[in-house]
Amino acid sequence: MVTETDKYTYRVTWSEEDEEFVGLCAEFPSLSWLAESPEGALKGIRKVVRACIKDMTDDGEDIPRAIATKNYSGKFMVRVPPDVHRRLAVKAAESGVSLNRVASAKLAQ
């Protein structure tokens, strides 16, 4: 059975500073868990997230929604310096495509 906490975005990476694996959760950026193995780090961060959600629920706080369950429109505004805007516009014109297509392609790289 899939629970809501299973839907969160977990990541395990190596911490050179701690010389251990660290488990992270994108929806709870202040939480982490150190362990000697990647599996232990994942298990630990999932346990910490569950405990945090229980505390937040008990305190009547809003629980972060899993990134994976959100709907995205595909639109967002990005501010760039005028010279970058100009270069992208020239690139789009020379390529015969829209500025949006050029920017989207660069962001996807």
Q: What is the pLDDT of residues 27-76, one digit of tens each?
A: 999 999 999 999 999 999 999 999 999 999 999 999 999 999 999 999 99
Q: Examine the domain organization and report whether 23 and 53 are in the same domain.
A: yes
Count of structural domains within the chain: 2
pLDDT, tens digit, 9 for 90 and up, residues 8-39: 999 999 999 999 999 999 999 999 999 999 99
Q: Examine the domain organization and report whether 81 and 37 are in the same domain.
A: no
Q: Examine the domain organization and report whether 24 and 56 are in the same domain.
A: yes
Q: Examine the domain organization and report whether 17 and 63 are in the same domain.
A: yes
Q: Examine the domain organization and report whether 60 and 16 are in the same domain.
A: yes
Q: Examine the domain organization and report whether 40 and 93 are in the same domain.
A: no
Identify whether the C-beta of residue 12 lies closer than 8 Å to the C-beta of residue 22: yes
Range of the domain at 35: 4-68
Q: Give me 40's structure tokens.
A: 């232990």
Q: Examine the domain organization and report whether 41 and 93 are in the same domain.
A: no
Q: Which of 75, 74, 56 is nearest to 65 (CA)?
A: 56
How are beta strands 20-25 and 32-35 bridged, if at all? Answer: antiparallel
